[in-house]
Amino acid sequence: MSMAEHDHNPPQQDPRYDLFGPYEKLIEVRVLGSKFLVPENNKLLRCFQYLSLLGIANGRFCWNGDCKTCQVRYRTHPQADERSALSCQVPVAEGMHITELSEELSLRLRDVLASAGK
Ligand code: FES
């Protein structure tokens, strides 16, 4: 889903707000080259859930650092070294580039990524 297609109410009016950590604004990240807006002050996996509510909810994720099915590789900016992380543990940051997704994340975000603009 592209940024333009992802039309959101202000956080306080969004019925999904309780699921996410408190946030005042959406920040831009890239996932496999596509731009998305996600809630600041949240872990990356929660941001993925913002993009695919049911996809991530139905995934095999423990949310606590044990299962490793949420592994990603990312850069903090385009020239930075690539790092591995568990997306349930790493906080999202403005401008983050997620360069690789685990098999489970790829499956759960497949539709979002397929319809995303670059
Ligand atoms: S969801 Fe299990 S380690 Fe992140």
Segments forming the whole domain that contains residue 60: 26-114
Residue 14 inside a domain? The answer is no
Residue 62 lies in a domain: yes
Whether the CA torsion 82, 86, 92, 97 is positive or negative: it is positive
| Other C-beta atoms lying within 10 Å of the C-beta of residue 59 | 21
On whether residue 19 sits in a domain, the answer given is no
- Residue 34 within any structural domain of the chain: yes
Q: What's the 69 CA to ligand 1 centre distance in angstroms?
A: 6
Residue 31 domain flag? yes
pLDDT band per the 50, 70, 90 thresholds, residue 31: very high
Q: Is residue 4 part of a domain?
A: no
52 C-alpha vs ligand 1 centroid, how far in Å?
A: 17
Report the domain count for the chain: 1
Q: Give the pocket of ligand 1 (CB within 6 Å).
A: 61-63, 65-70, 86, 88
- Decide if pLDDT at 6 tops 60: no
CATH number at 46 reads 3.10.20.30
In a domain, 13, yes or no: no
With beta carbons less than 8 A apart as the criterion, state whether 53 and 83 touch.
Answer: no
Does residue 16 register a pLDDT over 80?
A: no
Ligand 1 atom closest to Cα of 89? 4
User: Which has the minimum average pLDDT: 7-16, 32-41, 95-104?
Assistant: 7-16
Is the pLDDT assigned to residue 9 strictly greater than 90? no
pLDDT digits (tens, 9 = 90+) for 49-92: 999 999 999 999 999 999 999 999 999 988 899 999 999 999 99
Residues 6+ apart with CB under 8 A from 73: 82, 83, 84, 85, 98, 99, 100
State the pTM of this model. 0.85
Q: Which parts of 1-118 fold into alpha helices (H)?
A: 44-51, 53-57, 103-108, 110-114
